[in-house]
Amino acid sequence: MTGFNPPFRGIYKILLANGYDFRSSMLELIDNSLSKNAKNIRIIIARENEADENSPITRIIIYDNGTAMDSNTLVNAFTIGHEKLNRDSNDIGEFSTGMKAGFFNMGLDITVISKVSGGDLVGLYANVEAMKESNSYAPTEIVNKMYPEFLNTHFVQNDISSFMEQSSGTFIQIKNLIPKCQMIFSDAIEKITKTIMNSYTVMPNNCKIIVTDQGNFTKDIIPSNLFYIDQDNKLEFPPITTTLLIYKGDSISKPYRVIEKNTTVRVIKNNKNKPVKTGGSLTSPVYYEYTAYTRGQQFHTNMEKITKVPTTECLGEIDIRLIQVKDLFFQQEKEYFIESSVMVGDRKGFYFNRGIRTVGSALNLGKPMHDRSTDNCERQRMQVTFPAKLDSIIGSKFNKQMENNALPCIVLNDALWSIWKQVIIKWEADSPVKVKSETETTAAVPAGPAPAAPAAPAAPALGPRAEAVAWLVAQLPDEAPAPAPAPAPAPALAAPAPAPALAPAPAPAAPAPAPAPAPPPPPAPAPAPAPAPAPAPALAAPAPVLTTHSIAAHERTTSKSDYDLLVQLRNIVTIANTRDFNILLASANTSIQPGNTDIYKALMKISSLLGE
């Protein structure tokens, strides 16, 4: 069969259904300029009324001074799935569909002109409605040698005057914008500026990007550098870096092997007296192979040191950088994001870079992040940089975006989580506790009678388990919520002896002298049942330190079931036997109701404090 031409209407629907929006479409066109080694990119946003920021935009222009395209290259670039030959290893694209998807997800009238150095100016015009009518992918007009009528018909002279003076470059204009790209000028400027600045870690060739209008408005776009490359002074700790090598597996059940090439020393288990560390240096790396987690397995036990790397094909390398940002700079980052973005308040997690382009931000890879109650952990993030050829195991989609799920390659997913937890638990232990809310740092202790107990000892005197107990007690309100008002208050109780692990709170006993410290005896039978449930007495805290964290806890409403489980958790951490501790902690973990994030935070805080 000759003259085969794919039907346009079906392809057009597919391109519109692949999750592109205004921002991801713009990024595809910026990618195209960067892949052509542009040193300057200018974005022009035209509007109906140049004096009104709330005026609707009418056309979008992107032009650069890159190496550009000749006539054949331009036509190929407009062809779906055309394979790019001699692809650079750092090329952002893979499927050769990005530029076309960007075009069609923005507007119905597309005009491109391009000129290679020393060559002719060539052009292409595509009217989407005409292409749908003819059901042909062929552009409406292709110009192998430019003529004045084409320029006069499709462009405003002021828009192209600067471009025409360049020796090379590409000029893209999109008009007749489709609904998802119809917006007012001020919104378009904010979306373009903040999307681009947060989507590129660095600009190749020190490329400068400027967004402007037809008049005097001009704004430089500079990458936000959320991982503070060459700015270690803005980090709480030196960054942790390492590399994962992805090898082809040797069986269907083991399609990939994930090997860490470790050239630095890091703590992988934060034992109090003797931390377990990796080895390795730049001249003598140490290799570890990862496996998927099994139920109950700890984060440092799914890696095994190996002496030889696999002989199968190495599919690619993944570079990792893990940081904790200082609070001052973390607060300043809020200006980088659109006000409605979740990134304004939540930037913790995994960031994936496909080459220089960020395709996933603040992801949790299918697992809940531990303890979001402190500002320290909110300032921790991991950068994962991978080549386009690893898309299938990373989960980067057709539109160069990722969903917040576990990665398709579970071994890689668990390897990233292991490295994260190894580093974060050490940092949590070394960080001062700082609650999220800045306003809480000056909060006063809630009004109420002063406690009769003597002053608490200084915090440094607490060991890990005592600190965990103190932290848990600080999460409890002064008394357990009662399911209904009691008709009469119950008799006051003496300070309770240590409660048995995971035992429901017993019925109130008759007043009796407090027993000497010893293993808890069976509860004494009550002389008579209480006429109605009464509020539980305040818990005696084992010398907790009064912090803004505990103040905030007293202001929080806690349900009766949550209160009981927190009491059980407090009892758990008083157990000296590690084996029993692990069993009871796992049992409490299964008691968590779906969505009960407060209890999950408590469990994760215990684990981080004890290094279990």
Say what the pLDDT of residue 250 is. 84
Residue 67 DSSP code: S
Query: Based on the domain organization, do 58 and 171 belong to the same domain?
Result: yes
Query: Based on the domain organization, do 369 and 416 belong to the same domain?
Result: yes
Query: Based on the domain organization, do 95 and 198 belong to the same domain?
Result: yes
Please tell me the distance from the alpha carbon of residue 195 to that of residue 224, in angstroms, as a whole number: 10
Strands (DSSP E) contained in 178-233 are 208-212, 218-221
Rounded mean pLDDT of the chain? 77
Mean pLDDT of 155-164: 92
Angle between helix 597-610 and helix 410-430 axes, rounded to 10 deg: 70
The CATH number that applies at residue 46 is: 3.30.565.10
The answer to whether residue 144 is domain-embedded is yes
Number of structural domains (the chain) is 3
| pLDDT value at 566 more than 70 | no
Query: Based on the domain organization, do 396 and 424 belong to the same domain?
Result: yes
Say what the pLDDT of residue 245 is. 98
The answer to whether residue 451 is domain-embedded is no
Q: Specify the range with the lowest mean pLDDT, choosing from 205-214, 314-323, 557-566.
A: 557-566
Say what the pLDDT of residue 294 is. 85
Q: Of 145, 143, 106, 149, which Cα lies nearest the Cα of 128?
A: 106
Query: Based on the domain organization, do 88 and 131 belong to the same domain?
Result: yes
Query: Based on the domain organization, do 283 and 244 belong to the same domain?
Result: yes
If pLDDT is split at 50, 70 and 90, which confidence band does 341 have?
A: confident
Domain boundary among 161, 187, 221: 221
Query: Based on the domain organization, do 402 and 550 belong to the same domain?
Result: no
Query: Based on the domain organization, do 204 and 343 belong to the same domain?
Result: no
Number of Cβ atoms within 10 Å of the Cβ of 311: 8
Q: Do residues 551 and 475 make contact, with C-beta atoms less than 8 angstroms apart?
A: no
pLDDT digits (tens, 9 = 90+) for 522-545: 555 555 554 544 444 444 433 333
The answer to whether residue 556 is domain-embedded is yes
Say what the pLDDT of residue 411 is. 95
| pLDDT value at 506 more than 50 | no
Q: Which residues contact 184 (CB under 8 A, 6 or more apart)?
A: 47, 53, 54, 55, 56, 57
Say what the pLDDT of residue 545 is. 34
Mean pLDDT of 216-242: 93
Query: Based on the domain organization, do 310 and 389 belong to the same domain?
Result: yes
Higher pLDDT, 111 or 571: 111
Say what the pLDDT of residue 484 is. 46
Query: Based on the domain organization, do 398 and 257 belong to the same domain?
Result: yes
The answer to whether residue 453 is domain-embedded is no
Higher pLDDT, 326 or 561: 326
Token duo for residue 198: 């947060």
- Of all residues in the chain, the percent with pLDDT exceeding 70 is 65
Say what the pLDDT of residue 605 is. 62
Number of Cβ atoms within 10 Å of the Cβ of 434: 19
Q: Do residues 179 and 22 make contact, with C-beta atoms less than 8 angstroms apart?
A: no
Please tell me the distance from the alpha carbon of residue 56 to that of residue 213, in angstroms, as a whole number: 12
Please tell me the distance from the alpha carbon of residue 288 to that of residue 267, in angstroms, as a whole number: 14
Predicted TM-score of the model (pTM): 0.68
Query: Based on the domain organization, do 572 and 545 belong to the same domain?
Result: yes
Mean pLDDT of 356-384: 84
Q: Specify the range with the lowest mean pLDDT, choosing from 241-245, 405-409, 449-453.
A: 449-453
Domain boundary among 199, 221, 243: 221
Higher pLDDT, 572 or 102: 102
pLDDT digits (tens, 9 = 90+) for 405-444: 899 999 999 999 999 999 988 888 787 655 554 443 333 3
Structural domain of 42: 8-221
The answer to whether residue 54 is domain-embedded is yes
Helix (H) or strand (E) run with residue 24 in it: helix 22-35
Q: Which residues contact 95 (CB under 8 A, 6 or more apart)?
A: 81, 398
Say what the pLDDT of residue 292 is. 92
Helix (H) or strand (E) run with residue 316 in it: strand 314-324
If pLDDT is split at 50, 70 and 90, which confidence band does 384 have?
A: very high
Please tell me the distance from the alpha carbon of residue 278 to that of residue 304, in angstroms, as a whole number: 11
The answer to whether residue 85 is domain-embedded is yes
The answer to whether residue 308 is domain-embedded is yes
Query: Based on the domain organization, do 60 and 181 belong to the same domain?
Result: yes
The answer to whether residue 2 is domain-embedded is no
Domain boundary among 190, 221, 252: 221
pLDDT digits (tens, 9 = 90+) for 455-503: 444 434 445 555 555 555 555 544 444 544 544 554 444 444 454 444 4
